[in-house]
């Protein structure tokens, strides 16, 4: 569920499914190829759309490479690159995305991790003239409940630019996630 404090008419619900193949390349590097489906639904009735109507269905094929460098026994520098081809319905949202991410993580104690992150996404829309440059700078707290589940709290701000003058990326955000892995082969 995504909720906006000052623009509640834009609230929406999201469901996401992901399947991937993960390969350890070296003790510090990995690669992953995955498929993701996301569906977005109106949370409120807006104009001719009713609450619960789907407004976006997106399939993505992603290839990513990541690296973890220990700076000491509790401090780690993670770096990540991902290329994503996103095919959407409606198709004017289809795009190619290059993502870069750097994260400095500190393990306070066994189940608790804190960190600071920088993310850059470069998006090229394939069915219309639009390019986006999106940045996020944020902190996170992760509490690992078990080997297969965790809570994740993120807060920070985003900024960027788009060739579409109606797009404004400048905002503050707060995200709360509960992650659960079901099955690992």
**Residue 1 domain-assigned (yes or no):** no
The CATH number of the domain holding residue 28 is: 2.40.160.40
For 83, the domain range is: 8-180
Cβ atoms of 175 and 151 closer than 8 Å: no
The domain total for the chain is: 1
Per-residue pLDDT of the chain (185 residues; tens, 9 = 90+): 767 766 676 678 888 899 999 999 999 999 999 999 998 888 888 788 888 888 889 999 999 999 999 999 999 999 999 999 999 998 899 999 999 999 999 999 889 999 999 999 999 999 999 999 999 999 999 999 998 899 999 999 999 999 999 999 999 999 998 988 876 65
**Residue 147 domain-assigned (yes or no):** yes
């Amino acid at each position: 569920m995504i909720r906006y404090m000052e623009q509640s008419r834009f609230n929406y619900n999201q469901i996401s499914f992901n399947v991937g193949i993960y390969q350890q390349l070296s003790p510090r590097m990995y690669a992953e190829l995955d498929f993701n489906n996301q569906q977005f639904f109106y949370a409120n009735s807006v104009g001719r759309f009713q609450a619960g109507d789907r407004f976006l269905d997106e399939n993505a094929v992603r290839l990513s490479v990541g690296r973890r460098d220990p700076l000491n026994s509790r401090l780690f520098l993670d770096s990540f690159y991902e290329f994503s081809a996103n095919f959407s319905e409606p198709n004017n949202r289809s795009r190619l995305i290059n993502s870069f991410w750097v994260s400095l993580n500190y393990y306070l104690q066994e189940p608790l991790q804190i960190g600071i992150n920088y993310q850059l996404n470069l998006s090229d829309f394939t069915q219309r003239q639009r390019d986006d440059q999106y940045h996020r700078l944020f902190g996170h707290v992760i509490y690992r409940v078990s080997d297969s589940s965790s809570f994740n709290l993120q807060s920070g701000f985003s900024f960027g630019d788009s060739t579409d003058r109606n797009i404004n990326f400048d905002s503050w955000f707060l995200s709360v996630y509960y992650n659960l892995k079901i099955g690992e082969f």
